[in-house]
């Protein structure tokens, strides 16, 4: 078997990162050489995002950039996978002939065979999209029996026996884990479920990700152990809806019991929970997150808006009063909690009164991070057919207004943390005009988009902390939403490697 090389390029969210690392593990197990640079690979596999308009454009740009390498680099073929490929399939292939293949989720289990055929000159039929919500039974409890016939990326289905001796594709014991780390970060996402049963009027994700399916706890723990053995200090639990975890396994409190087991995994010192639906947050879940040592004081709650009538139009629940009460419940348990959310501005029918309700909520909520998105139609969603669409210029104006407010409020929230002690996972250095700076993330800061913490010694220099350490530090200043902190010097203030 000739050795071929492949680069997996990832767009979009941390859930996609898990899928990419599983794909990379499958390919490595089949004898492919993984490379970081697409220009040095025989095949570039681009794991696309299909969530919102900008993400789609970014994915198409990445495919075009990879295709350019066929003229200037080693790259022979470019293959589109991921959410954009799953969602649009044949349409994407017709509009983007630069891609040599467009493959959906059903191709992941046999990706090696597909890629070898493509290198040999074959052009497989492009993926034909379908509504993946209809592939599993309506009743959650009946899904696990049927799920073996439906592709669930990131769920380690049908893990292949390795064709080569690779330590990175076989754990010492327990369920097999086929995954290859594509970066050296001391944190990693870990998928606990896929799909969503909610029917938010603006969201297309359930159509191309399918119905909600939880992974079994033993599989999650096996993968966490695998990650801990490879230097991962923080495990970031990801899904489309973590508050639904366990409902298809007959126990909605399953995640409460899973958290202590995850923080007990050797090598893993911190577990972070993401994507909580406010209508599904249980007091028991808050208690478990608050009382389990090692669970990050971080609450990622998807509010989307704060006007009750507009939320109903979105097919969601809640209002400003209910959301503020939920935040009080969080802070009564975890006073130092970091809380983030996303909001949609300019949804069809949004009035000035609705917008005022949202801004009033944001001013009262004291959130650490708020992602602000302007509404745009998504193919196949209920809201696409709504009347009352706002002029794009009005949407842009409202986005600018809310964004400016959020930037001011989140900077103020960061300033409130001056003087507090935080636990920072050291991640690396960042080049600054005045030289490199050591940075990491406090427990209150999620990966990639929630700000960072710069670590300095008392003289403003770079402290001698190693990547992967979790360091207790006192916040002394802020830079927007970013924190500046000085490590405490006591022996108890570091978790040693």
Domain residues of the chain, as ranges?
5-128, 140-158+170-416, 420-487
Around 162, how many Cα atoms within 13 Å sit in the side-chain half-sphere? 18
Instruction: Note the pLDDT tens digit of each residue in 230-269.
Output: 999 999 999 999 999 999 999 999 999 999 999 999 999 9
49 is in an annotated binding site: yes
Quick one: 420-487 is in which CATH superfamily?
A: Nucleic acid-binding proteins (2.40.50.140)
465 is in an annotated binding site: no
Instruction: Please report which confidence band the pLDDT of residue 145 belongs to, taking 50, 70 and 90 as the band edges.
Output: confident
Residue percentage of the chain with pLDDT more than 90: 84
pLDDT tops 90 at residue 431 = no
pLDDT tops 60 at residue 328 = yes
Instruction: Please report which confidence band the pLDDT of residue 2 belongs to, taking 50, 70 and 90 as the band edges.
Output: low
CATH 2.40.50.140 fits 140-158+170-416, yes or no: no
CATH of domain 5-128: 3.40.50.12160
200 is in an annotated binding site: yes
* Of 138-147, 248-257, 330-339, minimum mean pLDDT range: 138-147
Instruction: Please report which confidence band the pLDDT of residue 496 belongs to, taking 50, 70 and 90 as the band edges.
Output: very low
- Between 372 and 161, the more confident residue is 372
Instruction: Note the pLDDT tens digit of each residue in 162-191.
Output: 544 434 444 444 567 899 999 999 999 999
83 is in an annotated binding site: yes
How much is the pTM? 0.92
Instruction: Note the pLDDT tens digit of each residue in 120-130.
Output: 999 999 999 99
């Amino acid at each position: 078997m000739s050795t071929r090389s492949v680069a997996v390029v990832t767009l979009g969210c941390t859930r996609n990162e898990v899928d990419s690392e599983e794909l990379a593990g499958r390919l490595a197990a089949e004898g492919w050489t993984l490379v970081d640079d697409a220009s040095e690979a025989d095949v570039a596999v681009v794991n696309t995002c299909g969530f919102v308009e900008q993400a789609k454009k970014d994915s198409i740009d990445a495919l075009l950039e990879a295709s350019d390498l066929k003229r200037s680099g080693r790259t022979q073929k470019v293959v589109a996978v991921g959410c954009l490929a799953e969602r649009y399939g044949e349409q994407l292939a017709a509009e983007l002939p630069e891609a040599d293949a467009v493959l959906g989720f059903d191709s992941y289990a046999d990706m090696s065979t597909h890629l070898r055929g493509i290198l040999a000159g074959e052009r497989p039929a492009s993926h034909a999209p379908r509504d993946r919500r209809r592939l599993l039974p309506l009743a959650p409890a009946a899904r696990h029996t049927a799920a073996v016939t439906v592709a669930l990326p990131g769920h380690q289905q049908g893990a292949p026996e390795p064709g080569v001796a690779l330590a990175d594709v076989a754990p010492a014991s327990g369920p097999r884990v086929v995954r290859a780390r594509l970066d050296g970060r001391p944190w990693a996402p870990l998928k606990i479920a896929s799909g969503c049963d909610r029917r938010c009027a603006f969201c297309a994700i359930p159509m191309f990700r399918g119905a909600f399916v939880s992974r079994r706890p033993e599989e999650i723990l096996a993968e966490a152990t695998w990650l801990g053995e490879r230097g991962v200090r923080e495990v970031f639990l990801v899904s489309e809806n973590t508050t639904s975890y366990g409902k298809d396994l007959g126990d909605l409190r399953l995640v409460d019991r899973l958290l202590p087991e995850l923080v007990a995994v050797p090598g893993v010192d911190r577990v972070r929970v993401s994507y909580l639906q406010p209508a599904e947050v249980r007091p028991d879940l808050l208690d478990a997150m608050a009382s389990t040592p090692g669970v990050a004081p971080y609450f990622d709650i998807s509010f989307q808006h704060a006007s009750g009538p507009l939320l109903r139009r979105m097919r969601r629940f809640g209002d400003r009063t209910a959301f503020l009460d939920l935040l009080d419940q969080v802070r009564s348990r975890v006073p130092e909690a970091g809380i983030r959310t996303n909001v949609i501005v300019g949804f069809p029918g949004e009035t000035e009164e609705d917008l005022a309700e949202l801004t009033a909520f944001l001013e009262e909520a004291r959130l650490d991070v708020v992602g602000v998105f302007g509404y745009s139609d998504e193919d196949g969603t209920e809201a696409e057919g709504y009347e009352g669409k706002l002029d794009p210029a009005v949407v842009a104006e409202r986005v600018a207004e809310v964004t400016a407010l959020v930037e001011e409020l989140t900077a103020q929230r960061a300033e409130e943390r001056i003087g507090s002690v935080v636990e920072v996972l050291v991640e690396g250095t960042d080049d600054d005009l005045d030289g490199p700076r050591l940075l990491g993330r406090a427990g209150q800061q999620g990966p990639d988009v929630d700000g960072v913490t710069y670590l300095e010694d008392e003289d403003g220099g770079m402290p001698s902390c190693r990547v992967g350490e979790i360091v207790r530090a006192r916040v002394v200043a802020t830079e927007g939403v970013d924190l500046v902190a000085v490590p405490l010097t006591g022996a108890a203030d570091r978790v040693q490697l």
